[in-house]
Amino acid sequence: MVTDRKPETIGKFRKRVFSGVQPSGGLTLGNYLGAVKRFVQMQNDNYETIYCVVDLHAITVWQDPSVLRQNTRELAAFFIASGLDPEKSILFNQSAVSEHAQLGWIFNCVARMGWMQRMTQFKDKAGKNAQNASLGLFAYPALMAADILAYHATHVPVGDDQKQHLELTRDIAIKFNHDYEVDFFPVTEPVIGGPAARVMSLRDGTKKMSKSDPSDLSRINMTDSSDVISNKIRKAKTDPQALPSEPEGLKDRAEAENLVSIYAALGDESVDEVLSEIGGKQFSEFKPMLVERATEVLSPISSEMERIMRDLPELDKVLNNGANKAKSIAKPILQKTFDIIGVR
């Protein structure tokens, strides 16, 4: 990786960040503020940063192959357009580095059935049809652990909905180290928090912003034009009260808290700082401020995504280069894992 920074170490391990996002299409403001914006911030700190389009996770449910390829490239373009620099960070798609799947099998043999059965996301996604869900959907937290530990990542920026899976990653690392009497895998730390770490629906502040919501007014898509963004914010659900001057005043005001948190996150401010500025304003005054900030930040990203997607050979070259860099880290770690467990 080309960088002028020397990552710090934590014990014997380099200070290294890994995170991945599924190429499921329909990119929203939640993907940007909840994940990618933090990825960009962390690449400029004293970390070695590795980011992945996790296409193998996507196929735990059936995918149209051509749509999956398109979504994979679009997500990579989104990363780059948002400020992720392939010269500072490693960016690649998961299936291009076979070490993920190989280490994933080893971790299938380390993880316990009881651990997997406690994963609430499987229950949520499989619903009443758990017996018809793929084995991959049930076991994918072990592959997620492999994604992280194939690079000896010490930190992972994750959303609240992935905290349980990261705890499983930690359990797998601890059990592997204990079973083989080694100190080989780090116990990875989550990086959670900040304004708008979880972006909520514009129509219901108690629900997460989602591409699957039937109402397009509930979300800001990363491909929305400035006019569309403006319209959605102006129609966002609010309450009749003025905005408070302190965070305590947002209690039980889910929609107000969501819009204030979005405004804060887009401007790299804390909620306290924002409320000291806008406290006492009505939403009729605040919404135009949010429109201005949102379009100022998001419109250039949308335009740059379009530009990148017009040159797919160059984008594929970036991903291939990233995969080669990722493999140069993961391959020796996997080989040492083989040595420890007595195979190959």
Give the model confidence (pLDDT) of 35-64 as tens digits.
899 899 899 888 899 999 999 999 998 999
327 lies in the same domain as 301: no
Q: Is the pLDDT of residue 330 over 80?
A: yes
Q: What percent of the chain has pLDDT over 90?
A: 79
The answer to the question of residue 210 being in a domain is no
Q: Catalytic: 15?
A: no
47 lies in the same domain as 191: yes
Across the chain, what does the average pLDDT equal? Answer: 92
103 lies in the same domain as 222: no
What CATH code is carried by the domain that includes residue 173? 3.40.50.620
92 lies in the same domain as 222: no
What stretches of the chain show up as alpha helix (H) in DSSP? Answer: 29-31, 37-43, 55-58, 65-81, 99-110, 113-117, 120-126, 135-149, 163-179, 226-234, 254-266, 271-278, 283-309, 312-341
**Quick one: which of 83, 33, 41 has its CA closest to 261?**
33
Question: 15, 175, 211, 331: which is the annotated catalytic residue?
Answer: 211
Phi, psi values for residue 71, rounded to 5°: -65, -35
How many CA atoms within 13 Å lie on the side-chain side of 209? 31
pLDDT category at 155 given cuts 50, 70, 90 is: very high
- Domain count along the chain: 2
301 lies in the same domain as 336: no
Question: 125, 175, 237, 331: which is the annotated catalytic residue?
Answer: 125
77 lies in the same domain as 188: yes
pLDDT attached to residue 2: 42
* Contact status, residue 68 vs residue 302, Cβ threshold 8 Å: no
**Per mean pLDDT, which range of 107-121, 207-221, 317-331 is the poorest?**
107-121
The answer to the question of residue 1 being in a domain is no
The answer to the question of residue 292 being in a domain is yes
Question: 6, 88, 163, 208: which is the annotated catalytic residue?
Answer: 208
The answer to the question of residue 45 being in a domain is yes
Q: Catalytic: 232?
A: no
- The domain in which residue 163 lies consists of 9-196+311-341
Query: Within a 10 A sphere around the Cβ of 183, how many other Cβ atoms?
Result: 10
The answer to the question of residue 82 being in a domain is yes
Q: What is the pTM of this model?
A: 0.90
The answer to the question of residue 211 being in a domain is no
Q: Catalytic: 123?
A: no
259 lies in the same domain as 317: no
pLDDT attached to residue 245: 95
227 lies in the same domain as 130: no
pLDDT attached to residue 1: 42
Q: What is the DSSP letter of 246?
A: S
